[in-house]
Amino acid sequence: MTAYLVRRTLQSVVLLWIVSVAVFVLIHTAPGGAAVLQNPDLSRDQIAQFRANLGLDAPLPVQYVRWLHGVLRGDFGRSYNTVEPVARLVETRLPNTLLLTGIALGLAVLLAIPLGVASATHRNTPIDRLVAVLSFLGISTPVFWLGIVLIVVCSVQFRILPAGGMYQIGEPFSVGDRVRHLLMPVFVLMTANLAEVTRYTRSAMIDALGEDYVRTARAKGLPGPAVLFRHALRNALIPVITIVGVYLPRAVSATAITETVFSWPGMGQLALQSAATRDYPVVLGTTLAIAVFAVAGSLLTDLAYGYADPRIRLG
Amino acid sequence: MAAMQAVSRTRVSEVAPRQFWRHVAWRRFCANWGAVVAAVFLLVMYATAAGGPLLSRYSPNAVDIANTNAAPSAEHWLGTDESGRDVLARLIAGARTTMTVGLIAMIIAIVIGALVGSLAGYCGGWIDSVLMRFTDGMMAIPYFFLVLVAVAALGPSFHNIVVMIGLISWMVVARIVRGEVLRYRGVDFVLAAQAIGAKPARVLARHILPQAGPVLIVAATFGVANAILLESALSYLGLGIQPPQASWGNMLSNAQAYVWENPRLPIYPGVLILCTVLAYNFLGDALRDALDPRYREGNM
């Protein structure tokens, strides 16, 4: 087990390192360069001075080693645009993203499992068909469009919910205000993840219900719900856990888009803005932070997998 | 269903099994009316994309400052946008962009996926493990950010977008193809082909990959759906197709900016994206039921 953990962690570190190299090379070889250097008011000498100050005149490998050296000591550099340290930017944005994603993903799983189970136990009935149609709609709806439609309905037409942001400017913090700002983004993000998990729960549940141990449990006279939840569902959840792991990278993109639609001040929005202005240190910092979470997530799901199913020996 | 299974057991003795299967697959497909509707809808969309400029009196980029945010009327069936451009004309132009991106990106993904998958499956050994670890790695990265960084770096031109989407969508195809290659690698007709001295490339191309055809068609159908969603998301974020060229995604990002003045604007492109992606997903599902023997029992 320990050996497995060590190996997986090492693999993850290598993966993250490759991501950092890829991102670094990509953004630095881009024609044009950082947006701050595009300012037409600057003279050629001033731009050269800026480049030298930012260390951009050194050869690429040297720049990378300098950056990596900083990262290993916890220094991710400063934003070109706002001169704030990247670490502090990430620190202020990360909790907002975790709040939004945590609630949305939690709700999605809590809803998807009963839906999937109901759909599997009522196979080929109207309930099953309804769930199937809804999940088809769910995977086919563009996340951002659902957000815009909600804004049109709830904010423009009925004016009951704020169109974006995280709090009402100029008002003291209150839980009610935060919840009002959270409602639409959480709903959008939840919908984006709900359909996929429901579909996998359904098919895993159908497989489990066809197994011998379910027949045995029924034959020895266990009540229906006990068979369903204690025997079938526990086994069905194993493949569902893997799918959630595989699915994490996609959930990250949905989060970034949702944050942009609702101007939610999170990591995704920060990454998008910095990519648009080519704020290199911020692009690197945010991409790396997001990659760390995605990789850690997939490691955790693998561990959960081994925990849920003792037959699987991690090693 | 029972009758069909009885027939399928006699398949071996059929004179022309391939033709027979095509017939069965076609019948299964047509029995699924949702899929037929989806196919017809997609045909109409492609016809619209091909017909393009012929279908509208207005140029998609013609600005009319005197007539902005107009309501639907006899002149402008769906009204005009914030610059007085005809919404219908822009939707038609957007159809051309979006449908093309979806198709080409999918073809790129299939080609890369088939190459990686068949190399890994056929060669085995360390080539297999390196290629598959690479595929897993690609799947573990939040690919959206790779695209984002790449587009920010290389610039959001039409073919950069198409290539980028293709480059991040091949992993599922690679896994499917590898699985199929492994399945058929030791089968008699492949061994026979190898025994008479066929080169690996020929064995793969003529004997193994055609077996993977049905599975690939299904993967390709879902692939187009994903590519279209990805393109519209990127264009919405301003990192995809650049205005004034219309794409359904960038029409939505304009629409959101003017949502207070003209709340009708976001409806049309969104509904079109939704319907197109939905049609592709329906089609993929129906094709899987019709073509892939492992889903014949209808348990997915």
- Cα distance between residue B248 and residue B234, in whole Å: 11
Put simply, whether the predicted model's pTM sits higher than 0.80 gets the answer yes
Closest partner residue to A252 (CB to CB) among B142, B150, B238 is B142
Closest partner residue to B139 (CB to CB) among A206, A246, A275 is A246
* Tokens 């709903």 sit on residue: A187
Write the DSSP symbol of residue A36.
G
Percent of chain A at pLDDT exceeding 70: 96
Contact B138/A at CB under 8 A: no
The pLDDT value given to residue B71: 78
Closest partner residue to A26 (CB to CB) among B150, B282, B299 is B150
What is the residue extent of each domain of chain A?
90-263
CA A36 to chain CA mean position, Å? 29
The pLDDT value given to residue B292: 67
For residue A85, the cross-strand partners are A78
- B274–A141 C-beta distance less than 8 A: yes
A288: pLDDT strictly greater than 50? yes
The pLDDT value given to residue B18: 65
Predicted complex ipTM: 0.80
Which candidate, A277, A283, A285, places its Cα nearest to that of A76? Answer: A285
Which residue positions in chain B have pLDDT lower than 50? 1-14, 297-300
Closest partner residue to B263 (CB to CB) among A152, A249, A252 is A152
For chain A, the straight-line distance linking the first and the last C-alpha, in angstroms and rounded, comes to 7
**Contact of A107 with A170, CB cutoff 8 Å:** no
Residue scoring higher pLDDT (B24 or A288): A288
- A249–B139 C-beta distance less than 8 A: yes
- Cα distance between residue B10 and residue B207, in whole Å: 23
CA distance B130 to chain A (A): 13
Mutate to test the interface with B, among A97, A101, A140 (most CBs of B within 10 A): A140
pLDDT band at residue A302 under the 50/70/90 scheme = confident
Pick among 1.10.3720.10, 3.10.180.10, 3.40.50.150, 2.30.42.10: CATH of A90-263: 1.10.3720.10
Partners of B256 on chain A (C-beta within 8 Å) are 148, 151, 261
Cis before B244 (ω within 30)? yes
**Contact of B272 with A145, CB cutoff 8 Å:** no
- A149–B140 C-beta distance less than 8 A: no
Give the helix/strand (H/E) hosting B50. Answer: helix B33-51
- B277–A15 C-beta distance less than 8 A: no
Average pLDDT, chain A: 84
The pLDDT value given to residue A197: 87
The pLDDT value given to residue B12: 46
**Range A167-191 average pLDDT:** 85
Chain B contacts in chain A segment 184-203 (CB below 8 A): 203
pLDDT one-digit tens code per residue, A221-247: 888 888 888 888 888 887 777 777 767
Closest partner residue to B152 (CB to CB) among A203, A246, A275 is A275
pLDDT one-digit tens code per residue, A147-171: 999 998 998 888 888 888 887 777 7
A308: pLDDT strictly greater than 80? no
Contact A35/B at CB under 8 A: no
- Give the lowest-confidence range in A80-89, A209-218, A251-260, B64-73: B64-73
pLDDT one-digit tens code per residue, A21-75: 888 887 777 666 676 777 777 777 888 887 787 778 788 888 899 889 988 888 8
**Contact of B39 with B290, CB cutoff 8 Å:** no
Q: How far is CA B41 from CA B65, B148, B185, B212, B251, in A?
A: 34, 31, 39, 27, 21
Length of chain B: 300
- A26–B139 C-beta distance less than 8 A: no
Contact A207/B at CB under 8 A: yes
- A151–B139 C-beta distance less than 8 A: no
- A257–B233 C-beta distance less than 8 A: yes
A287: pLDDT strictly greater than 90? no
